[in-house]
Structure 1
């Protein structure tokens, strides 16, 4: 048993989609979450800057005595996960491998689409992971740079969001039977994405898939939280306005919570 919290990092609010799934699957685990909304989205930034920002988030979580760190951000996973994983002595999980594996299991035709931030798509990491596991797959990757800003600005139900999603996804419509949401912000746009792609296309939430791996690792390392120990409140931190973060978080998680503003060196 290990009653320390699990740490989550993301460029903003997108990682809350992973947290929601963790709360559902592992309700006894305690969460510390840091979202770098002041510098979101990470996707268009150069790799070196993303690496630097990610290490700042990792170091912040380490001050909270976490037992595991989850990269609830595809861009940070693509750029810095391997490096961080090698340097820490606690488990560090990313969202890309679980999402890739789930896509392979889901597809019936072998035609898989990947949507993500410019950095995730240009890194080619999803296609590489999928092809390494199943070389017969046809993978079509598409950068959707406008999606994460829509989520961060809480416009997920707007007519602008519908227009942006419709126009962005046009190149993939009718060409894939499985679509990986390769950014943890994207499940917040899921109803619109599903509507545009059509009911027969299976959407893969890479963050939700990652929670299954978290559960496996907690069991493997025997670091599950004891159910006998009283739960503390989950802790949420943001580098931007805590009120706007809280509004999105409360809507998405369906529960009240406190959000604290923190400054990271820039």
Structure 2
């Protein structure tokens, strides 16, 4: 099935998920929408996030995607169950989100059962990770909100003293509970993995929701016979909801690397990228 996979995030963080999908499923086309006009979602109320997320997901469905990937932890916490009911059960469009794959990976990797999660204030406050871990047999996790991490990544700042200072402030109370595994519960955070890993220490394993989500995408498409032919030439279309494209483009190049070989700007705010040429 050659229709694209629809990937949605509140901004650029979900590009880590797009990158992982491209790596694991090189024949698949992707249509990505970053809601840069309204992101970040972390400080917003759950009802507001739900409304914004459904608007974007409806847009992706209207564009003919074969699967929906909610590549935003805050949106996942707010809208996942409703999205499954609306799109998967109602329309036959599979829905994949970032929380459950990360939880499964963390449980599998943890040696002691002591697990930490850092995410946006909205995600932590929703209790979504706490519930998911409880259902997986882990009744207690160490959880901390790290809101400035999103600001750093959105502005292209991923190293330096300010990042390290923020990382220490967020992580030190969490590390006092001695976790051996730390979930990066926001798709922006892998871009700060160097600083986070340095502060957390070599004995703490970092789990990225991006890689685990891409693995779920692969499994579901394969199980349902929906994979694109291996000979397919993929097309990548990335959309933002603001007209100011340069910050998005700059970060897209950092997230996606060689896939951004040519860019066309449109007044609609749509960025078209060609498929692989390698």
Q: Fold conserved (TM > 0.5)?
A: yes
Q: Does 1:159 align with 2:161?
A: yes
Post-superposition Cα deviations, 1:49-84, rounded to whole Å, max 9, x if no partner, equal 101110111011112200000000000000001101
Give the structure 2 partner of residue 75 of structure 1.
74
Is the contact between residue 102 and residue 213 of structure 2 (CA under 8 Å) also seen in structure 1? Answer: yes
Give the structure 1 partner of residue 152 of structure 2.
150
Is the contact between residue 238 and residue 260 of structure 1 (CA under 8 Å) also seen in structure 2? Answer: no
CA distance in structure 2 between the partners assigned to 1:230 and 1:155 by the alignment? 34
Shift in Å, 1:229? 3.3
Give the structure 2 partner of residue 234 of structure 1.
236
Shift in Å, 1:105? 0.5
Shift in Å, 1:262? 4.2
TM-score (norm 1): 0.93
CA distance in structure 2 between the partners assigned to 1:260 and 1:187 by the alignment? 29
SS in 2 for 1:70: strand
Map 1:213-224; keep pairs closer than 5 Å: 213-224=216-227
Post-superposition Cα deviations, 1:204-245, rounded to whole Å, max 9, x if no partner, equal 1012101111011111110101123333x3000112321111
Shift in Å, 1:157? 2.3
Give the structure 1 partner of residue 137 of structure 2.
134
SS in 2 for 1:37: coil
TM-score (norm 2): 0.90
Give the structure 2 partner of residue 87 of structure 1.
86
1:204 aligned residue (178, 188, 207): 207
Runs (4 or more) in structure 1 with deviation over 4 Å come to 259-263
Structure 1 spans left out of the alignment, 5+ residues: none
Is the contact between residue 27 and residue 231 of structure 2 (CA under 8 Å) also seen in structure 1? Answer: no
CA distance in structure 2 between the partners assigned to 1:55 and 1:141 by the alignment? 27
Post-superposition Cα deviations, 1:12-53, rounded to whole Å, max 9, x if no partner, equal 010011111111111110010000122211011011110111
Structure 2 spans left out of the alignment, 5+ residues: 270-278
